């Protein structure tokens, strides 16, 4: 065997020549997986503690390893650590620095484990922290929505179906719809967190290890709910990352829909809201422009997060058990998903409380769009007309209003009676916007009293959410 060329110290024993320089670069992941360093070190410390407990490492070796790893963590945090692409990934960079610092004890750290269970552990630990931070951001956004919804519980706007004026709703009700979507996103992420919170440590390369390890011990040290049940599954599946990306894609889809509404509402055609200048940019050529860049970008970034979900599903689909190098490709999409999601949630949580609401424009739009036509039909039904006949009569009244450029409430009693002779002067109470929203007074309805009830319930739920989350970490 030729010893002329340097070969990788960690696995070079059976190799006769050095890795091709291009291949070394092509296969290395340290460029992007170095961001796992904190979790990699936490995993290594737990592994060393466990090895000591079962008698594989001495106390002195354990102490040297733990002190060495902590020093490396500090170096990395301060930017004093030199990463080497020749050492492939975050795991071997740290292990090699440890051995350089403490000698032989460093070489013993990798006893009874493999980079396969190591990386599976690192990603889970990293993602668990990310999920916790994202859950907190969702809560912050939901809190903002609740505040604005309460303030705007009486604010009337047109509700749309097919983006055509349908029935009057309150702006508070609309915002509480966003709140509900985010609540489901929050619970999906809690679910995902529960399933990923199992420790793969001890699965080793794929089959487990011949050392007398205590997987419960290392799992407990890392805050896992326990060890994973099957070593082959532990090192190979990335379903937890896919699940996270799926929940993230849904969350982004919700933010994208809300963005689309903000963009419409901020336009000169709607003028329902004004986005604060600090969330917008201007045009270099059109002096009047104030562009809603932040919601536009959130809407745009939804595409890349959905793309990451598809990338991970595709990455996984052809892999036989157990670990395959394909899985190194899980990191960049996963990292970018978490980063993008956090940024977009932050943008929304900052923006929502600062929205300037143009109540007059909302009200004007609701008045102009025959939004109370259903209320007139319901009035006729209460007088004994079958709903379909009432629908027909009101349709004709609307056509008459359109022809003369007036809303239903602006037609005279005589004009209305042409379409339904039983109409009396009390009809004008149901044709008002306030009457219309107040009438939808049941759980989930748009009546201001119901919006206030939903706000109170939401405050309760958010307060209860805070407690168990702290207990989890
Ligand atoms: N960098 C690798 C990854 O991200 C670590 C595991 C490598 N394992 C191996 N047997 N080559 O998946």
In the predicted model, what is the mean pLDDT of residues 32-56?
98
Could you report the per-residue pLDDT of 333-376, keeping only the tens digit for each?
999 999 999 999 999 999 999 999 999 999 999 988 899 999 99
Q: What distance in angstroms lies between residue 35's CA and the mean position of ligand 1's atoms?
A: 15
Ligand 1 centroid distance, CA of 115 (Å): 6
Spell out which residues line ligand 1, taking CB within 6 angstroms.
Answer: 29, 33, 89, 115-116, 119, 323, 325, 327-328
Question: By alpha-carbon position, which residue is closest to atom 3 of ligand 1?
Answer: 328
Pocket perturbation via mutation, ligand 1, pick of 325, 329, 330, 335 by most ligand atoms within 8 A of CB: 325
- Find, among 36, 27, 32, 84, the residue nearest to 332 by Cα: 32
**Atom of ligand 1 at shortest distance to CA of 205?**
10
Distance 327 CA to ligand 1 centre (A): 7
Mutating to test ligand 1, I would choose from 34, 40, 85, 119 the residue with most ligand atoms within 8 A of its C-beta, which is: 119
Known catalytic membership, residue 173: no
Q: Is 49 exposed, middle or buried (0-12, 13-18, 19+ CB in 10 A)?
A: middle
* pLDDT tens figures, 107-154: 999 999 999 999 999 999 999 999 999 999 999 999 999 999 999 999
Looking at residue 3, its pLDDT comes to: 44
Over residues 224-253, the mean pLDDT reads: 98
Please, which residues have CB within 8 angstroms of residue 105's CB and are 6 or more apart in sequence?
57, 60, 61, 64, 65, 68
Any idea what the Cα angle at residue 152 is, between residues 133 and 139, rounded to 5°?
A: 10
Quick check: 283 pLDDT over 90?
no
pLDDT attached to residue 6: 61
Please tell me which residue in 2, 162, 442, 473 is annotated as part of the active site: 162
Distance CA 164, CA 374 (A): 14
Global confidence as pTM? 0.94
Which pLDDT score, from 0 to 100, does residue 470 have? Answer: 52
Residue 8 has a pLDDT of 75
Residue 162 catalytic?
yes
CA-CA distance, 408 to 167, in Å (whole number)?
13
* Atom of ligand 1 at shortest range from CA of 330: 4
Look up tokens 């006949």; give the residue.
389
Percent pLDDT > 90 in the chain is 89
Instruction: Calculate mean pLDDT across residues 13-33.
Output: 92
Q: Residue 2: which pLDDT band, with cuts at 50, 70 and 90?
A: very low
pLDDT tens across 270-279, in order?
999 999 888 8
Q: Taking 60 as the threshold, does the pLDDT of residue 242 lie above it?
A: yes
* pLDDT tens digits along 416-466: 999 999 999 999 988 999 999 999 999 999 999 999 999 999 999 999 997
% of the chain with per-residue pLDDT over 70 = 97
Cα 257 to Cα 40, 251, 298, 432, distances in angstroms: 37, 10, 10, 30
pLDDT score at 1: 37
Tell me the CA–centroid distance for residue 329 and ligand 1, in Å.
10
Q: What is the mean pLDDT of the chain?
A: 95
Atom of ligand 1 nearest to the CA of 88: 1
Q: For the segment 48-88, what is each residue's pLDDT rounded down to a tens digit?
A: 999 999 999 999 999 999 999 999 999 999 999 999 999 99
Ligand 1 binding pocket mutation candidate from 328, 330, 334 (most atoms within 8 A of CB): 328
What number is the average pLDDT over the span 151-169? 97
Residue bearing the CA closest to ligand 1, atom 12? 328
Residue 467's pLDDT is 66
């Amino acid at each position: 065997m030729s010893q002329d060329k340097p070969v990788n110290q960690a696995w070079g024993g059976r190799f006769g020549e050095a890795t091709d320089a291009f291949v070394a670069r092509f296969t290395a992941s340290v460029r992007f997986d170095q961001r796992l360093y904190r979790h990699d070190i936490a995993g290594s410390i737990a592994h060393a503690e466990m090895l000591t407990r079962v008698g594989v490492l001495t106390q002195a070796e354990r102490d040297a390893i733990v002190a060495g790893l902590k020093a490396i963590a500090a170096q990395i945090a301060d930017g004093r650590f030199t990463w080497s692409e020749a050492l492939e990934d975050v795991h071997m960079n740290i292990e090699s620095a440890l051995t350089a610092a403490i000698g032989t004890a460093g070489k013993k750290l990798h006893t009874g484990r493999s980079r396969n269970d190591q990386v599976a552990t690192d990603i889970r630990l990293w993602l668990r922290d990310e999920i916790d931070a994202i859950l907190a951001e969702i809560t912050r956004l939901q809190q903002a929505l609740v505040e604005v919804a309460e303030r705007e519980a009486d604010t009337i706007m047109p509700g749309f179906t097919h983006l055509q004026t349908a029935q009057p709703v309150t702006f508070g009700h609309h915002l509480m719809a966003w709140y509900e979507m985010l609540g489901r996103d929050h619970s999906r992420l809690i679910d995902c967190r529960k399933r990923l919170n199992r420790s793969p440590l001890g699965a080793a390369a794929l089959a487990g290890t011949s050392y007398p390890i205590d997987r419960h011990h290392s799992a407990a040290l890392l805050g896992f709910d326990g060890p994973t049940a099957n070593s082959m599954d532990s090192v190979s599946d990335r379903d937890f990352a896919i699940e996270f990306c799926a929940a993230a894609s849904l969350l982004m889809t919700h933010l994208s829909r809300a963005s689309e509404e903000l963009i419409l509402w901020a336009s000169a055609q709607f003028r329902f809201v004004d986005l604060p200048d600090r969330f917008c940019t201007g045009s270099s050529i059109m002096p009047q422009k104030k562009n809603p860049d932040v919601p536009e970008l959130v809407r745009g970034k939804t595409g890349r997060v959905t793309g990451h979900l598809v990338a991970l599903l595709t990455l996984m689909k052809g892999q036989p058990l157990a670990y395959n190098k394909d899985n190194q490709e899980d990191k960049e999409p996963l990292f970018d998903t978490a980063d993008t999601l956090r940024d977009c949630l932050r943008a929304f949580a900052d923006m929502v409380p600062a929205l300037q609401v143009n109540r007059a424009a909302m009200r004007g739009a609701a008045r102009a769009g025959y939004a109370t036509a259903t209320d007139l039909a319901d009035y006729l039904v209460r007088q004994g007309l079958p709903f379909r006949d009432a629908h027909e009569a009101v349709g004709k009244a609307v056509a008459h209003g359109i022809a003369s450029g007036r809303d239903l409430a602006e037609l005279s009693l005589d004009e209305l009676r042409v379409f339904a002779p039983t109409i009396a002067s009390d009809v004008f109470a149901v044709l008002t916007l306030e009457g219309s929203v107040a009438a939808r007074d049941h759980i989930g309805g748009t009546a201001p009293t119901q919006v206030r009830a939903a706000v109170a319930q939401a405050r309760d739920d958010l307060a209860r959410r805070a407690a168990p989350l702290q207990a989890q970490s």
